[in-house]
Structure 1
Amino acid sequence: MRIVLVGPPGAGKGTQAAYLAKNLAIPHISTGDLFRANISQDTPLGRKAQEYMRAGQLVPDEVTIGMAKDRMQQSDAEGGFLLDGFPRNLAQAEALDEFLKGEGLRLDGVLDLEVPEDEVVKRIAGRRMCRKDSSHIFHAIYNPPKTEGVCDTCGGELYQREDDREDTVRKRLEVYHTETEPIIDYYKAQGLVVTISALGKVGEVTERAMAALERESAS
């Protein structure tokens, strides 16, 4: 299957992408991984991306699209892939369609993870990271530490990242509504979108997603 995963920040796309890709036996292709791989391997596209990133600028669509095309042409993606974070706007969606058409392929579905905006803010703004070890993550509501402001694991100070502040989260949501949401209508016009609720436990959302994708592939 060839699937695009969409949803607002805080919808759990990364978590669900990993589970879905494993269940479907296809590679999980995320924009973040594409950037890291190309930069670490010092590819021409990686060098271009790094130039923009060092200058504090957004990486242009053509660079991101080039990285995605290269990744989708690797042997492990021959049987399908799950795209996470790409496409993120209409120009990228159109470029993806053009690429797939040129390869004689098409998308099988677009999975839209739906989460109320207030829940997104609650999920992200409640995160607390450990200064000693960033892998130690807590949540003010869903996974609070035993002692407020102190990491249960190593005793390090817990803090809220700038990206997780409520005002920053709301700005990220504005960008999502402006840039990424239009691709949902674009794919709806192609009859590809399956929308599911991303509320509930991780396993419940994964089961919901798998059932929706199975229905889509059978139709």
Structure 2
Amino acid sequence: MRIVLVGPPGAGKGTQAAYLAKNLGIPHISTGDLFRANISQGTPLGVEAQSYMKAGQLVPDSVTIGMAEDRMRQADAEGGFLLDGFPRNVAQAEALDAFLKADGIELDAVLDLEVPEDEVVKRIAGRRICRNDSSHVFHVSYNAPKTEGVCDACGGELYQRDDDNEETVRHRLAVYHTETEPIIDYYRAQNLVETISALGKVDEVTAKAMAALKK
């Protein structure tokens, strides 16, 4: 299967992508991983992307598209893939369509993870990270530490990342609504969109996603 996963920040796309890709036996291709791999390997696209990032500029669509196309050409993606974070706008969606059409293949589905905006803010703004180990993550409402501000695992100080504050989260949501959300209508016109609620436990959301894909 060839799937695009869409949803606002805080919808749990990364978590769901990992579970779905494993269940379906296809690679999970995330934009973040693409950038990290290309930059760490010093590929021409990675070098170009890093030059924009160091200058504080947005990386052009052409660079992101190039990275995604290179990854989709790899052997493990021949039988399908799950795209997470790409396409991010309609121009990238059109480029993806052109790339797939050139190979005589097409998308099977676009999964739209739906979460109310206030829930997104609550999920992200409530996160607390351990200063000693960033893999230790807590939440003031959903996974509170035994002692406020203290990591259960190592006793380190818990803090809120700068980009997890409510003002920043609402700005990220505004960018999502303006730039990314239009691809849902773009794909809906192709009868590819399956919208599911991303509320509930991780396994419950995964089950809903798998049921939608079986359609």
Alignment map for 1:1-219 (pairs within 5 Å): 1-215=1-215
Q: Where in structure 2 are there 5+ consecutive unaligned residues?
A: none
- Higher alpha-carbon deviation: 38-47 or 49-58: 49-58
- Structure 1 residue 46: deviation in Å? 0.4
- Over aligned residues, Cα RMSD in angstroms? 0.5
Q: Matched residue of 1:79: which SS?
A: coil
After superposition, the C-alpha distances for 1:5-64 in whole angstroms (9 at most, x for unaligned) are 000000000000000000000000000000011011110000001111111111110000
**C-alpha distance in 2, partners of 1:27/1:189?**
26
Q: Matched residue of 1:129: which SS?
A: strand
**C-alpha distance in 1, partners of 2:103/2:50?**
29
Report sequence identity in percent.
83
**C-alpha distance in 1, partners of 2:157/2:130?**
6
**C-alpha distance in 1, partners of 2:56/2:163?**
15
**C-alpha distance in 1, partners of 2:20/2:135?**
23
Q: Which amino acid aligns with 2:78?
A: E
Q: Matched residue of 2:107: which SS?
A: coil
Aligned residues: 215
Q: Where in structure 1 are there 5+ consecutive unaligned residues?
A: none
- Structure 1 residue 4: deviation in Å? 0.2
**C-alpha distance in 2, partners of 1:178/1:70?**
27
**C-alpha distance in 2, partners of 1:54/1:154?**
34
Tell me the TM-score normalized by structure 1. Answer: 0.97
After superposition, the C-alpha distances for 1:163-202 in whole angstroms (9 at most, x for unaligned) are 1000000000000000000000000000000000000000
